[in-house]
Amino acid sequence: MKSMYFQLLLLLAAASAAALLAFWGLNYAGTYAVERYCYNSDYIRNRDQSYVDRLQSYIDRNGLESKDAGVLLAWVKGQKVLSVCVYKDDKIVFDSDYPEQEMWEEEIEAYEYGWENFYPITFADGAAKVSIMGNYAYQFYNYAMLGAILLSVLIFLTIFLLGIRTKMKYISLLSNEIRMLESGSLDYRITVRGRDELGSLAEGLDCMRESFRSLIDRETAMMRENQRIVTEMSHDLRTPVTSIMLYTEILKKGKYNSEEQMREYIEKIERKAGRMKHLTDHLFEYSMVTGETQIVLEEPDSFKVLFYDLISELCSYLEQRGFRVEARLDWPRCRTRVCTDYLTRIMDNVASNIVKYADDGEPVEVRAFQDRKLAGFSFENAVRQGGEQAESTCIGIQSVGSMMEKMGGSCRVRQEDGRFRIELLFVSEEQLEELPKD
């Protein structure tokens, strides 16, 4: 993951490098343009000529001679020129850089310097030549450098702000998407960009959105399932209640032919009441299981230690009820974590389901098996034909499935060709760390 601080430093470095490179190029181009304008044109000569004209007017007004150094120096100081040299008879008679020198004794070949321009001028004591050096291009160089600095700063700010603008647009996008989530649009996917802190935040928000949506979907499905169960349970309870009321009315009015018929009606009332109790017990258990939000799993232990007594008791109970049990238990060589209270309820439901619906003429097969990272047991039996279907809502099986899910396992049910099979799969120890911790 690239930190935003690191990205900001990279952006600053890139903007600074671009600004420096732009300053170098712009300054070079400005200097080249100034030199081309000033030195490859008549600009310098025209400026020199204007100062020469001023100097000539000054000389004429004051009747100056070529050796009036003090007066000439005063004029130079009043002008925007760097230096003035006066040549007479190929000798320097005045140099503003050395104003105290009265006479230059060495002769100067005035025309040997190509960069120096000489202009004729007339003093009171005769004709002379003057060379004027002015810093005319200085202000242009300053303007060029100032323009390069301003443009470089502008380039730096543009690059930096464009880089920041990308992040700001992303933050604004996330803000809009969060507002959409607040309005309840959980199907809208959060945009994830980059691998920095903002990308991690967006990914976390999207995971939270998925969790909320899954939670709402589960709650909706549970609500619908509960409504279905209540509706079907009401229908299943209405039938025995109607029968009980009918037989009770018959007994109250004495509309039976014999004592044997009376006992038959009483037995039917008892069976119907037992069926109602069975349904209400399962409904109560289902409501208890679905209402529990979390459970605490016990410490991991081997399958044989955890299930030996429970399986043995279940097999003994079925044999006492007249069933033949074929148990082939190759105990899985792994450990798991369970909730003993849930295990007891699950085994009771399995035993009750077998007793009520299994054909006691066929054996009940109990197997232990291991399926990848899951291990568990299967119970298979033949379905009794023509028996009274007391549990049409299958609420007992749904309670088993809910309890298995809360222990991290699963319940698989299959019914075909007149046989019923239920598998209880528990998480082996290798997969326990992947479960949510309570």
pLDDT of residue 430: 56
Nearest to 426 by CA among 365, 381, 369: 369
Q: Parallel, antiparallel, or unpaired: how do β-strands 325-328 and 364-371 relate?
A: parallel
Q: Where does 63-118 show beta strands of DSSP type E? A: 83-88, 91-95
**Can you tell me the distance from the alpha carbon of 322 to that of 98, in angstroms, rounded to the nearest whole number?**
137
Euclidean distance between CA atoms 412 and 101, whole angstroms: 118
Predicted pLDDT at 87:
87
Structure tokens at 193: 């960009």
182-205 as b/e: b if 16+ CB within 10 A: eeeebeeebebebebebbeebeeb
This prediction has a pTM of 0.45
Write the CA distances from 44 to 51, 136, 180, 301, integer angstroms.
11, 7, 70, 102
- 282-309 burial code (b ≥16 CB/10 A, e <16): bbebbeebbeeeebebeeeeebeebbee
- Determine the pLDDT at residue 379: 92
HSE at residue 243, side-chain half, CA atoms within 13 A, is 17
Domain locations in the chain? 4-39+139-179, 43-136, 186-291, 294-438
Homologous superfamily assigned to 294-438? Histidine kinase-like ATPase, C-terminal domain (3.30.565.10)
| Vertex 357 angle, CA 354 and 363, to 5° | 55
Determine the 3-state secondary structure of 131 from DSSP.
strand
The gap from C-alpha 174 to its chain's centroid, in whole angstroms, comes to: 10
Domain 294-438 in the same topology as domain 186-291: no
SS3 of 418, please?
coil
Helix (H, G, I), strand (E, B) or coil at 381: strand
CA distance from start to end of the chain = 30
Beta strands in 183-320 (DSSP E): 301-302
- Per-residue model confidence (pLDDT) at position 169: 86
Q: Residues 226-243, buried b or exposed e (16+ Cβ, 10 A)? A: eeebeeebeebeeebeeb
- Which residue matches tokens 């998925």? 210
Q: Would you say domain 186-291 falls under CATH 3.40.50.720? A: no
* Chunked mean pLDDT (size 10), the chain, 438 residues: 79 91 91 79 80 88 84 82 82 79 48 66 88 78 89 92 85 84 78 80 85 82 74 71 82 80 83 75 64 72 87 90 88 85 85 86 88 84 68 67 84 87 83 42
Q: Which element (helix H / strand E) includes 60?
A: helix 43-62
DSSP assigned state of 190? P
Specify whether the CB–CB gap between 251 and 265 falls below 8 A: yes
Cα 373 versus chain centre, distance: 32
Query: Which among 141, 81, 87, 80 is positioned nearest to 113, based on CA atoms?
Result: 87
Residue 326: what residue type?
E
- Give the 3-state secondary structure of 357-378: HECCCCCEEEEEEEECCEEEEE
Cα(346)–Cα(335) distance, integer angstroms: 19
CB 159 within 8 A of CB 152: no
- DSSP code of residue 116: -
Tokens of 121: 């001028």
Rounded to 10 degrees, what is the CA torsion of 420, 426, 427, 428? -110
How far apart are the C-alpha atoms of 424 and 47, rounded to whole Å?
105
CA 401 to chain CA mean position, Å: 35
What does residue 415 show for φ and ψ, rounded to 5 degrees?
A: -135, 115
